[in-house]
Each structure stands twice: as structure tokens, then as C-alpha cells.
Structure 1
Amino acid sequence: MIESIFVSPGVHWVSFPEANLNVLCGCPADSVKHLMKKGLIRSIEKDGMTYESGPNAILLSDLKLQNGHFANLAEFPILQMLYRQGMLLPNHPNNTGAKPILIGREDLVREQMNYIFRGNYGLTSVEEIIDAGIDSEKAEEMMRLKLRFAFGHIHPSEKLLEAKIVDEGKTEISNGVEISR
């Protein structure tokens, strides 16, 4: 069974329940808010912990701009998956080892992975913080705090996300679900 729901202009939800795959198709600004309004992101309680449901994959638009607006703003949906759904949090019931999936053309997926990396971590070394005009003592302190929130490590996007590049032919997204152009 495939479930397809219109969320808002430029945003659709396609769910494959048997494959445990919920795809956010398109991610312009406020897509997380629109998913909440539609009830597609909601609170769940499991093992005494409350967290959110939501998508576990994003299909990027081939067009970077639609009607003068950015079409691929995957940072907030990905952060919702990693933190509010708990996919990245240690000892979380929804941390199964599965990673959020970014689907699309290679150039668009790579751009979004870079964008998400900077959105998640900001400046990622003492040197970068100093280059931004902060003194070395404060930069060291900021980096210690940053590493604490990052569970001790700054990870490249490839460690946090799964890229599914769609070129010619079929590409498996997850659990037997395939996509093609």
C-alpha cells in the first residue's frame, strides 16, 4: 500500500507503511510546520519517553527555486528527524541505527548535506572560531561546549545521513522501495 497526501503547495507526503518509509516530497520553508498542521508529525510515547513521528526521507526538488522561493530547505526537516524524532540521540527508543535519507540528483544532495552540516554544527574547529574574530580562550570554551552537544564528535553529514542519488534507472530508497526518473 502507498499513501500519498497533499500537504501544501510544493509539499507532499508519500508513505510506504510496509517498508517503514515516510517520504517528504519537497521541502520549502515551513514544511515541518505544515506537516504538524496536517497531523503527519505528532507526539509519540514509548518506553516512558515522548518524541515526535515524521518523515524519515526527503525527496529533493530538481528545481532549486519555485515561484521565486527556495525549494530545498532540508535543514529543519532533517534536524527534526535527528533530534525531535530521536534518530541520533543515544539510548533513544527511535534510534535504531537508521539514518534520515536524502533523495535526489547528486549535486542537490551534496549541497543539502553541506548546508545541513553547517546548520547543525556552525563553525567546527577552534581555528574557524578564532578566524571569526573570537579570542582563543573563548574559542576553546565554545568548542568544548559544541562538542558536548555533539556527543563528543563533529561528524560529517555522511555519518548522519544516507544519500540516495537518483540518476538513470531505478534506485532503491529503503526496504525494497525504488524510485526512478
Structure 2
Amino acid sequence: MDLLPSPHLPGDDEPSGCTAPLNAAEQVWAAQHRELVSELCDGDVDEWTVGHLFDRVHTTWLESEEQPDPAPLVHAFGVALGDLVLREVRGLAWVSYRDDDTRVTLALSSPDSPLVVFPIASVEEHWGIAADGWFTAHVHAVVHETVRQLRRSTADRSEQGVDD
């Protein structure tokens, strides 16, 4: 199973796009989702607490006869995933990512690397199929892969500088 639909480097079979700092509306939107998760976790927003919350909410949603639109839940847990990755990976920031089709999504990126991480899209891709414990394991997997990709990107830039 592919645990990491993100992070992506340009040319990874993903549309190339551009990033920009979050605008005021996007900052408010992310803050609202962040606050929701914080309240539900009694302010203890770490991968284990959010992971247990994800498991409870996801299971309840799966067992509901009439499953409501999962988008608000996906967004909240996606922002939480991104924030947890930001805690562990220096140099990343939330950005607005516009793809070739002019769709805009929030993502994580570094000004020093072409790497783009899509935490909200990652939660959306796994919503409805994630097993218990997925969220916590996924935080660790995304952090690990992001660090690996950033190191690779830095090494590639260093090699290019030597060759110039």
C-alpha cells in the first residue's frame, strides 16, 4: 500500500504548479480547522492524541448509516497532519498551491526546495479506508519521507553547484 501520496517533487507524475504564501482567507480557514482539532484534543495536539481522535471520529463516520460529507473532517485532520509535520521538519511552511488546472489547495513547501507536501489531500485519499492507527503512523511516515526528499534535493543542488 502506498502510504505516501505526498510529498512530491516536480516531475513525479503530478502536475507542476506554483506556490504562494497563504492569503488572509486561507490563514483564517486553516486557523479554524486547527482550533477545532485543538478543542477536541483538549489542547494536547500531538500525533498520538490526534491519532486517537482520528480513529474515534473515522470509526464513528464509517459506522453511521447516513455518512455526512467528510470534507470538514478531512480538512481538520489534514491541517493537523500538516501542522505535525511542520513541527518536525524545519524550513517548511503552509503555502497555497495552484496546479496546472488552476485548482488551489493548501500544502507545505520550502523556499529552498521544489518539494511540495499535500497533507489535506493525503487525508482525503485515505478517508474511508484508513485502519486504526493510520494517522499516527502516517505522520511519522510523511515526516520521514519529507526529510529524505529534502536531503536528496539539497544533495542534488550541491552536486549541481560542484558541476558548474
**TM-score, reference length from structure 2:** 0.31
Larger radius of gyration: 1
**TM-score, reference length from structure 1:** 0.29
- Tell me which of the two structures has the higher relative contact order, counting C-alpha pairs closer than 8 angstroms and 6 or more residues apart: 2
Q: Which has the higher strand share?
A: 1
Q: Which has the higher helix share?
A: 2
